[in-house]
Amino acid sequence: MAVRYGLGVMVLGLVAAAGGVAQTGGRLLVVEKGAQALGVVDPTAKEATGKSVVSISEGALPGKDTGHEVAASRDGKLAYVPIYGDSGVGSPGTDGHMMVVIDLATQKVVNTVDFGHPVRPHLPVLGPAVAGHPDGLLYVTTELDKTVTVIDPTTMKMIGAVPTGAVQSHMLAVSHDGKRGYTANVRPGTVSVLDLVGRKTVAVIPVSGMTQRISISKDDRWVFTSDQTKPELVVIDTKTNSISRRVALPGLGYGSASTVDGRWLLVALDVADKVAVVDLKTWTVARTIDALDAPQAVVMSPDGKAAYVSCQTSGRAAEIALEGEPADWKVKRMILVGKGADGLAWAAGQ
């Protein structure tokens, strides 16, 4: 959770250069922290200015409480937005205790999950289909409990919790088989390895004095987090549950995501206003993409043709074309998505 804020645009629309990258179906979901809302954008529009869809209220929330992150249901009809509170991780402020479920067709909050007490719920991740749960299981970091809460998305009932063994378990990555989870524990500067089936902590890996955000490679071989005390990407070997290497970055790293083909890792550099493209074969930065404003989260379109990066200060999301060699990658257009743009997700279909 970054603390950089700026004036944003509280309506949705696509602006800037023509020639956006088209996908087949699906919508981009963007949390608007400064508007207590969820932005929904159709990025397939071919016109130069794109097509605005809607900004959906997170409901009647107290004060400035808001969600920070979002996940979509498997069919793309629902969005899950935990309401964290009104502050950043480890900072004084209110402590959220619920998650809202938004119907993207009716543009309304249709369900609420109450965790029963203040937990600062943060990142939701929908895992793969598993035995007894064809729609997968929904995992939500519940910071103040030092756990990841497990929710059945069919009934929206809490069915368990996984201890992380650390405070400030802020972000979460889940392996593609649904067996392992990895949390970035911010100020302890560690990563917890979780057995999601046995619901227990496997290991807690020291990283640095402070870490932030986390992602996993397409083949589940590597977990990526960023050292917040020096500009380095930290690569964890999931076979040994230990640090494999550190990759120098041209700025402190933040959110990251692998391309669909697993070849590259895009790392947001929040303070440097750039995105670094890491070659996962040579473990070097192949290039940087400039002209971004406090980039936060990164998400890929399912067809692999575009990456979207939320830019918190300007309230935009950058659409980056991924076709061709890395030297050809460019920001094709900027999406105005509302004040405090942060968490991203892709909603399938529709």
pLDDT in tens, 104-129: 999 999 999 999 999 999 999 999 99
On average, the pLDDT of the chain sits at 90
Choice among 38-52, 131-145, 200-214, 289-303 with the minimum mean pLDDT: 38-52
Cα 313 to Cα 152: distance, rounded to the nearest angstrom: 35
Mean pLDDT of all residues in 72-77? 96
Inter-residue long-range contacts of 180-186, CB under 8 Å, 24+ positions, other chains counted: 180/220, 180/238, 181/125, 181/139, 181/148, 182/214, 182/216, 182/223, 182/236, 183/141, 183/148, 183/214, 184/211, 184/212, 184/213, 184/214, 184/225, 185/211, 186/89, 186/90, 186/210, 186/211, 186/212, 186/228
The pLDDT, as a whole number, for residue 335 is 87
Q: How confident is the model at residue 46 (pLDDT cuts 50, 70, 90)?
A: low
Domains and CATH numbers, the chain: 13-347 (2.130.10.10)
Q: Is the pTM of this model over 0.85?
A: yes
Residue 267: closest CA among 314, 212, 316: 212
Mean pLDDT of all residues in 262-271? 97
Mean pLDDT of all residues in 37-51? 71
Choice between 119 and 19, residue whose per-residue pLDDT is larger: 119
Choice between 210 and 19, residue whose per-residue pLDDT is larger: 210
Mean pLDDT of all residues in 336-340? 89
- Quick: pLDDT tens for 318-331: 999 997 555 578 89
- Quick: pLDDT tens for 278-302: 999 999 999 999 979 999 999 999 9
Cα 197 to Cα 22, 71, 170: the distances in Å are 38, 21, 20
Q: Is the pLDDT of residue 100 over 70?
A: yes
Q: Is the pLDDT of residue 99 over 50?
A: yes
Q: How confident is the model at residue 9 (pLDDT cuts 50, 70, 90)?
A: very low
